[in-house]
């Protein structure tokens, strides 16, 4: 398995410091959850790690098996085994979901070792079944006119086909009804292995009833202020974030 180490990460957007020194280590075989109120920098963390150009990294580092991710081009990050599920996945007109997935898989592979069309279709059909996705979706343009739930399932479809070393999943539960949530959770759970580590960003505890994290971290005001086991998520569900704000001296 791989290890992703986030060390003292500081990130600014347009001169405003959003992340103020985030430290977090995710190893293969581990599921970590980050929770926190809206606007505390959870998505900023995900976007900065994946190299979104609007985010200025002013301090710190992100190491994948000791290699500096922040020095890599965006496509190199995917090639190195990182996967980012977007909170708001984009539409790509003119590219079918199936073509997009196949070229994504091949982009991760060495030249001459591309997946054959037959093996790709076999693998895709298996995962489509697994995720209860209508086979026709694969022939539609990527995310175009997809419902919120379809976009999320599509993201998990990508995850299961690409088999990254480390995935960062940002609010994969938002806008899902309970059945879709279970399907998405089943897909993520099926990925569990020593060669897969996952950072699950969520606003609500609900998702964590279906995907049990090994560790839960709470982000407040651009920092991880508390880490614990799954019980921490339950306590947040019952008591909210106020007690943690007080503990962290963030009461206003
Ligand atoms: P979360 O995912 O925890 O809800 P975000 O990372 O989306 O939080 O946002 C953290 C803070 O950064 C918020 O105050 C938000 O307004 C600000 N922010 C996010 N994206 C931008 C942007 N593109 N330009 C300016 N400010 C932004
Ligand atoms: Mg948000
Ligand atoms: Mg967010």
pLDDT digits (tens, 9 = 90+) for 139-157: 888 878 888 888 888 889 9
DSSP string, the chain: --EEEEEEEEEEETTEEEEEEEEEEEETT-EEEEE--TTSSHHHHHHHHHT-TTEEEEEEEEEETTEEGGGS-HHHHHHTTEEEE-SSPPP-TT-BHHHHHHHHHHHHSPTT-PPPHHHHHHHHHHHHHHTT--GGGGGSBTTTT--HHHHHHHHHHHHHHH--SEEEEESTTTT--HHHHHHHHHHHHHT-BTTBEEEEEESSGGGGGTS--SEEEEEETTEEEEEE-HHHHHHHHHH-SHHHHHHTT---
Ligand 1 lined by 250 (C-beta under 6 Å): no
> Above 80 in pLDDT, residue 206?
yes
Q: What is the pLDDT of residues 166-184, one digit of tens each?
A: 999 998 888 888 888 999 9
Nearest ligand 1 atom to alpha carbon 38: 4
Ligand 1 lined by 19 (C-beta under 6 Å): no
Nearest ligand 1 atom to alpha carbon 47: 6
Nearest ligand 1 atom to alpha carbon 222: 10
pLDDT level of residue 217 (50, 70, 90 thresholds) = very high
In the structure, ligand 3 is a single-atom ion and the residues with CB under 5 Å from it are 42-43
In the structure, ligand 2 is a single-atom ion and the residues with CB under 5 Å from it are 38
Ligand 1 lined by 217 (C-beta under 6 Å): no
Ligand 1 lined by 44 (C-beta under 6 Å): yes
Give the pLDDT mean for 11-17. 96
> Above 60 in pLDDT, residue 87?
no
Distance from residue 122's CA to the centre of ligand 1 (Å):
40
CA 140 – CA 248 distance, rounded (Å) = 48
Ligand 1 lined by 121 (C-beta under 6 Å): no
Nearest ligand 1 atom to alpha carbon 171: 2
Question: Greater confidence, 248 or 195?
Answer: 195
Residue nearest to atom 21 of ligand 1 (CA): 13
Ligand 1 lined by 88 (C-beta under 6 Å): no
pLDDT value at position 109? 83
Percent of the chain's residues with pLDDT above 90: 63
Distance from residue 61's CA to the centre of ligand 3 (Å):
21
For the structural domain made of 3-88+164-247, what CATH number should be given?
3.40.50.300
Among all bound ligands, the one having the nearest atom to the CA of 52 is 1
Q: Which two tokens stand for residue 248?
A: 């962290």
Give the pLDDT mean for 53-75. 94
Q: Where are the domains of the chain?
A: 3-88+164-247
pLDDT value at position 133? 87
Lowest mean pLDDT among 29-33, 38-42, 78-82: 78-82
Ligand 1 lined by 38 (C-beta under 6 Å): yes
């Amino acid at each position: 398995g791989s290890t992703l180490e986030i060390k003292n990460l500081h990130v600014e957007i347009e001169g405003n410091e959003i992340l103020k020194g985030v430290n977090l280590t995710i190893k293969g075989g581990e599921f970590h959850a980050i929770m926190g109120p809206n606007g505390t920098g959870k998505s900023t963390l995900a976007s900065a790690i994946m190299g979104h150009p609007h985010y200025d990294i002013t301090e710190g580092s992100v190491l994948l098996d000791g290699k500096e991710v922040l020095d890599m081009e965006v496509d190199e990050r995917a090639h190195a085994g990182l996967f980012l599920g977007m909170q708001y996945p984009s539409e790509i007109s003119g590219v079918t979901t199936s073509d997009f997935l196949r070229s994504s898989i091949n982009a991760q592979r060495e030249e001459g070792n591309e997946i054959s069309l037959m093996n790709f279709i076999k693998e895709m059909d298996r995962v489509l079944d697994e995720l209860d996705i209508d086979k026709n979706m694969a022939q539609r343009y990527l995310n175009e006119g997809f419902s919120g739930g379809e976009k999320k399932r599509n993201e998990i479809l990508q995850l299961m086909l690409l088999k990254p070393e480390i995935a960062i999943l940002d609010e994969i539960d938002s806008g899902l009804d309970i059945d879709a949530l279970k399907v998405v959770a089943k897909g993520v759970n099926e990925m569990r292995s020593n060669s897969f580590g996952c950072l699950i960003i969520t606003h609500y505890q609900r998702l964590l009833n279906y995907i049990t994290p090994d560790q839960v971290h709470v982000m407040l005001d651009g920092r991880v202020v508390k880490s614990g086991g799954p019980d921490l998520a339950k306590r947040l569900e019952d008591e909210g974030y106020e007690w943690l704000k007080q503990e962290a001296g963030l009461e206003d």
